[in-house]
Amino acid sequence: MAPRSGRIAGGELSQTSSLTGRMQSVGLRRSLLIAGGLAVFAAGCGGSGYQYVENEDLGVFARLPDDWAVYDTEELLSEINSGDAAMSDAAMERAQDRLWFRGFDASDRPSAEGSMDIGAHEPRGFVHIRALSREERDTINVSGLRAYVLGVDPLAASSAEMPLGGPTAENVEVITDEPAEFDGGYHGNHNVFAVSQGNEVAIVDQTALLNSANSTLYLFVVSCDEECYFETNSDDIAEIVESWTIDESHSSQ
């Protein structure tokens, strides 16, 4: 993929084989939270048919249809950080300095929890940005970026290496695997995965980028089932992926 002026472009919405299945996202929610806490805000534009998710400090911008639900810090935290493995208040406070997060859900009965479920009948997804630790900066690579949502890189992992409770290697089809490079030194990978379980399929469109200093991870994800992704909501999804923008002047931060 040729460098673009600060925008994140997804791959073409090409047809995939008739896979079946759906993947639950409990592990995904926990992995997103372990990295840090949340601080988000959105800006709307009255009468335009769109709403905007943005963070001026990070130079991040995304445009969504105005009838999609968008969830803030408190709502997402209450869903992710719960149960026996919940982080302490002190750990959450430390984490909040490292992560910026927004979830969205296009369903008729949206929820903060649903924004991080993949393979639903309507588009759902999130924008996830976090500062990397020194150790992570030294070890992060394309395979690690590719593995961020599924837990393991399906191009490199055997079935035995896929996470417990997640998809097996043979149940993941890699539809798109391409480098992503953008003005300002942002670099990473764009992937579209088809995840098969049972009788349904989840399509996961993710763009994972690092800034020029390899100090910050930018993750842009939208997902729904096969019919939604390739047919009923394909135009909306393509516009969302195309709208994801990072201001190149922030690349060294």
Max mean pLDDT range (22-26, 73-77, 184-188): 184-188
Distance in angstroms (rounded) separating the CA atoms of residues 154 and 46: 42
Domain boundaries along the sequence of the chain: 26-250
pLDDT at residue 124 in the model: 94
- Give 96-150 pLDDT, tens digit per residue: 667 788 899 999 999 988 888 888 999 999 988 888 989 999 999 999 999 888 8
Query: Which whole number is the average pLDDT over 72-101?
Result: 70
DSSP string, 209-223: EE-TTS-EEEEEEEE
Torsion of CA 87, 93, 95, 96, to 10 degrees: 130
pLDDT at residue 48 in the model: 74
Give the chain's mean pLDDT: 76
Distance in angstroms (rounded) separating the CA atoms of residues 142 and 208: 9
Block residue for tokens 């994800």: 221
Does residue 79 register a pLDDT over 60?
Answer: yes
- Give 223-250 pLDDT, tens digit per residue: 999 999 999 999 999 999 999 888 876 5
CATH class of segment(s) 26-250: alpha beta
Residues 104, 145 contacting (CB under 8 angstroms): no
Q: Reduce the secondary structure of 89-137 to three states and give it as a string.
A: HHHHHHHCCCEEEEEEECCCCCCCCHHHCCCCCCCEEEEEEEECCHHHH
- Between 250 and 190, the higher pLDDT residue: 190
Block residue for tokens 């996470």: 163
pLDDT at residue 61 in the model: 87
pLDDT at residue 181 in the model: 85
pLDDT at residue 101 in the model: 82
pLDDT at residue 172 in the model: 87
Considering only CA atoms, which of 99, 64, 100 is closest in space to residue 244? 64
- Give 14-49 pLDDT, tens digit per residue: 333 222 222 344 345 444 444 433 333 444 555 678
Relative to beta strand 124-131, strand 69-71 is: unpaired
Query: Which whole number is the average pLDDT over 82-98?
Result: 69
Q: How many CB atoms lie within 10 A of CB 212?
A: 15
Show the tokens assigned to 105: 């859900």
pLDDT at residue 130 in the model: 87
| Side-by-side strand order, sheet with 42-44 | 42-44, 50-55, 60-65, 245-246
Does residue 191 register a pLDDT over 90?
Answer: yes
